[in-house]
């Protein structure tokens, strides 16, 4: 498997240690200038349709259910009147908190090898255009005066609440994030939370009814194209109490059986994963693309994901 940076090597080593399987025909490449990651088929083989090329155990998807502070985070959210969110803006806010907490753990995070491969500054999603920090700012797109454009401005308002998303982010940060992470040995800042939020907005997947919105290592390495060759497959219907895809102690009434408690290395655990599966042929030397939406426009990509696409 080819790579061009120490960052990618650390990512691949981390994946190997977490039983994240990557097909040997795939090569993960990091651009030396932009730092962006992409995935290529640099083998001499043509990869056919319906091939599982990446398998990611659900345990190693980063979500509010798997993060280091999972138990206390779920309790904290409940105490603040927030049910465990699966999708929508609350899910983005909560996952950004979980992700930010892992960044603050730094080398102590179990996701360290994955986190170091992510952009280390906020992704320039439209929401943060022109947002000024104390020592720098995300450049404003001068060609688009979104502040004076009513139709464009609607994209930055939560349709469920009618409140501007930036207002909701700051409110969530002050009410939940800052006090929850106050015991951290690292400095907690709105800027750091914005960084995590931008990564969630531009990279997270809705994987199932238990984990909800999640960061999925390697799955988020595939760049966007409307003519994608690969997609994420996941069983959405899982146990809402423990996330199991198998029958578990929550599926029946009465005392649990010995057989309910499965070894973590059993064959059935192999099914407790999400997969990146091909839906089109991938030719040698070609980049492998996922899609963020077959009909999404370049303008929407720029607003929501911070980039434009030529494919």
Residue-wise pLDDT tens digits, 85-117: 788 899 999 999 999 999 999 999 999 999 999
Mean pLDDT of all residues in 187-194? 94
pLDDT band, residue 133 (cuts 50/70/90): low
- pLDDT tens digits, one per residue of 69-87: 999 999 988 888 888 778 8
pLDDT band, residue 292 (cuts 50/70/90): confident
**For residues 297 and 178, which has the higher predicted lDDT (pLDDT)?**
178
Q: For the chain, what percent of residues have pLDDT higher than 70?
A: 76
**For residues 304 and 100, which has the higher predicted lDDT (pLDDT)?**
100
Which helix (DSSP H) or strand (DSSP E) does residue 303 occupy?
helix 298-305
| Radius of gyration of the chain from its Cα atoms, rounded to whole angstroms | 20
pLDDT band, residue 62 (cuts 50/70/90): very high
pLDDT band, residue 142 (cuts 50/70/90): very low
Dist. CA 64–CA 207, nearest whole Å:
12
Which helix (DSSP H) or strand (DSSP E) does residue 129 occupy?
none
Mean pLDDT of all residues in 216-222? 96
Q: 44-80 in b/e burial notation, b at 16+ Cβ within 10 A?
A: eeebeeebebbbbbbbbbbbbbbbbbeeebbebbeee
- pLDDT tens digits, one per residue of 241-268: 666 677 777 665 555 444 444 444 444 4
The pLDDT, as a whole number, for residue 148 is: 55
Estimate the crossing angle of helix 190-203 against helix 165-172, to 10 degrees.
Answer: 120
- Determine how many CB atoms are found less than 10 A away from the CB of residue 288: 26
Q: Are 184 and 248 in contact (CB under 8 A)?
A: no
267 burial (CB, 10 Å; 0-12 / 13-18 / 19+) is exposed
pTM over the 0.75 mark? yes
The pLDDT, as a whole number, for residue 3 is: 45
- Determine how many CB atoms are found less than 10 A away from the CB of residue 304: 17
Statement: residue 122 has pLDDT above 70 = yes
């Amino acid at each position: 498997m080819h790579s061009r940076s120490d960052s990618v090597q650390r990512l691949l080593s981390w994946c190997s240690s977490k039983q994240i399987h990557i097909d040997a025909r795939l090569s993960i490449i990091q651009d030396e200038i932009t730092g962006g990651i992409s995935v290529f088929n640099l083998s001499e083989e043509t990869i056919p349709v319906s091939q599982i090329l990446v398998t990611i155990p659900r345990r190693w998807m980063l979500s509010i259910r798997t993060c280091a502070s999972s138990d206390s985070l779920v309790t904290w959210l409940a105490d603040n009147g927030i049910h465990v969110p699966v999708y929508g803006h609350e899910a983005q806010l909560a996952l950004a908190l979980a992700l930010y907490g892992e960044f603050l753990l730094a080398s102590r995070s179990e996701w360290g090898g994955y986190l170091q491969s992510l952009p280390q500054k906020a992704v320039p999603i439209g929401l943060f255009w022109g947002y000024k920090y104390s020592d720098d700012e995300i450049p404003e797109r001068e060609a688009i005066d979104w502040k004076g454009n009513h139709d464009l401005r609607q994209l930055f308002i939560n349709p469920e609440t009618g409140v501007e998303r930036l207002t909701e982010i700051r409110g969530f940060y002050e009410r939940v994030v800052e006090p929850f992470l106050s015991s951290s040995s690292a400095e907690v800042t709105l800027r750091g939370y914005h960084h995590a939020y931008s990564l969630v907005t531009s990279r997270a997947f809705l994987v199932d009814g238990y984990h909800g919105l999640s960061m999925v290592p390697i799955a988020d390495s595939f760049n966007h194209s409307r003519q994608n060759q690969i997609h994420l497959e996941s069983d959405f219907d899982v146990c809402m109490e423990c996330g199991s895809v198998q029958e578990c102690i929550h599926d029946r009434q009465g005392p649990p059986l010995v057989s309910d408690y499965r070894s973590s290395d059993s064959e059935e655990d192999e099914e407790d994963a999400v997969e990146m599966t091909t839906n089109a042929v991938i030719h040698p030397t070609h980049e492998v693309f996922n899609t963020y939406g077959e009909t999404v426009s370049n303008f929407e990509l720029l607003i929501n994901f911070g980039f434009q696409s030529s494919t």
